[in-house]
Amino acid sequence: MSAKEIILSYMGEKINSLFSPMSEDYFAGISEIRIRTGKPLTFTRYSRERFIDGHGKCQSDPILGYCPEPKDIQEALSLMSDYSLYAFEEELRSGYITLSGGHRVGVSGQAVIENKALKTMKNISGFNIRVSHEIKGCADSVIGKIALPQLMHTMIISPPACGKTTLLRDVVRQLSNGVAGKFPGVNVGVADERSEIAGCYRGVPQNDVGIRTDVLDGCPKDEGMLILLRAMSPRVIAVDELGGRNDIRAVEDIVNAGVCLICTVHGRDLEDARQRMVLGELINRGIFERFVVLKAVGKIAGVYGRGGESA
Which residue ranges make up each domain of the chain?
3-130, 140-305
For residue 165, the model assigns a pLDDT of 92
Q: Do domains 3-130 and 140-305 have the same CATH topology?
A: no
Low-confidence ranges of the chain (pLDDT < 70): 85-87
For residue 212, the model assigns a pLDDT of 97
Q: Which fold has domain 140-305?
A: Rossmann fold (3.40.50)
For residue 109, the model assigns a pLDDT of 87
Q: Quick one: CATH architecture of 3-130?
A: 2-Layer Sandwich (3.30)
For residue 87, the model assigns a pLDDT of 66
For residue 245, the model assigns a pLDDT of 83
For residue 295, the model assigns a pLDDT of 84
- Could you tell me if 109 and 85 are in contact, meaning their C-beta atoms sit under 8 angstroms apart? no
For residue 256, the model assigns a pLDDT of 94
